[in-house]
Amino acid sequence: MIVVGGEALIDLVPVAQPPGALLPRPGGGPYNTALALGRLGVRTAFCSRISTDGFGASLLDGLRAAGVDLSLVQRGPEPTTLAVPSLAPDGSAAYGFYVEGTADRLFRLPPALPEGVRALALGTCSLVLEPGASAYETLLRRESGRGLLTLLDPNIRPALIADPAAYRARFLSWLPHVGVLKLSEEDAAWLGGRAGDWLAAGPSAVVLTRGAGGLTVWTREGAEHSVPAHRVAVVDTIGAGDTVNAALLHRLAAGSERPGPVDWPEVLSYAAAAAALTCTRAGAEPPYAAELSGARPTP
């Protein structure tokens, strides 16, 4: 099983008609990652705090439909976090947020994760907004100490970070507890670091998403691999990076059962194919396993 921890929210996605209208869609980086893993057929549990309001109910319905385990989900009467993406002509998105007094930021540390968990993924708003951020940070340190594969996707949202210098320092303090650091070119530019520096701090691999430029990984052993992006008609990029998270975890956590070197070109190619399909759909709509059957080699 893979556990994904972090926020679940509602994206208010702009639509063409009527002018100025916003369409509510399930979202949040960790939520999208859990949804994508479930659709890929991976045993997945979501670890979060979700509102008891109507939006919260719809978020849970989406996870259930993907087969995601909800036993680690906490509930609260506070409203659901809202995000308003603005789309650029190339389909990329910037975000504004409504987060004051919302349910997901009140997450509490669970006493234990279920037996059989092989990996933990964390990231995005949940590692910024207190008091939940400290609970997720403690979860990362605790589960890394138990030997779990950990993936961190900072997925920087500058509008939420009141003290950039403090966040950058906190980010560096997480790296000794991170197995795979995945981030975008925009994240890397905002954080102001380099792959070699981050690898020296702890992760075994750093994966960089470069939009239309594809994906690159650097490993602690000194290897570097890149794959191109798939050429598709992009509707928007919402959820593409989260789909990459899911694809990486799918391949890496499964590979942990078969000791040996990671086939990074295959892993990245699979992630690129999954992200490309997500970009052909409005909002965060990651693909199902059957849609990617041609992107994986025969075992």
Nearest residue to 274 (alpha-carbon basis) of 259, 284, 264, 262: 284
- What is the reported pLDDT for 92? 66
Q: Please pick, among 11, 187, 242, 263, the residue that the annotation labels catalytic.
A: 242
Confidence of residue 84 (pLDDT cuts 50, 70, 90): confident
- What is the reported pLDDT for 21? 81
pLDDT tens, 130-161?
999 999 999 999 999 999 999 999 999 998 99
- What is the reported pLDDT for 20? 75
Quote the DSSP letter at residue 74.
E
- What is the reported pLDDT for 296? 44
φ/ψ of residue 87, rounded to 5: -100, 130
Q: Look at 299 and 104; give whichever has higher pLDDT.
A: 104
pLDDT tens, 204-236?
999 999 988 999 999 999 999 999 988 888 887
CA angle, 18 as apex, 13 and 23 as ends, to 5°? 25
Q: What global pTM score does this model have?
A: 0.91
Per DSSP bridges, beta strands 180-184 and 149-153 are parallel
As given in the structure block, the two tokens for residue 75 are: 């509930």
Mean pLDDT of 266-289: 90
pLDDT tens, 148-196?
999 999 999 998 999 999 999 999 999 999 999 999 999 999 999 899 9
φ/ψ of residue 13, rounded to 5: -85, 130
Confidence of residue 298 (pLDDT cuts 50, 70, 90): very low
Give CA–CA dist 11/274, Å, rounded: 21
- What is the reported pLDDT for 299? 26
How many Cα neighbours within 13 Å face the side chain of 130? 4
Mean pLDDT of 282-296: 79
* DSSP assignments along 180-235, one per residue: EEEEEHHHHHHHT--HHHHHHHS-SEEEEE-GGG-EEEEETTS-EEEEPPPP---S
Question: Where is 137: in which H helix or E strand?
Answer: helix 132-145
Q: Which residue has the tokens 């109507």?
A: 54
Q: Look at 239 and 129; give whichever has higher pLDDT.
A: 129
As given in the structure block, the two tokens for residue 254 are: 């499964």
Nearest residue to 153 (alpha-carbon basis) of 222, 292, 246: 246
Give CA–CA dist 27/158, Å, rounded: 18
| Stated length of the chain | 299
Q: Look at 31 and 231; give whichever has higher pLDDT.
A: 31
Under a CB-based contact definition with an 8 Å cutoff, are residues 292 and 267 in contact? no
Mean pLDDT of 38-64: 97
242 catalytic, yes or no?
Answer: yes
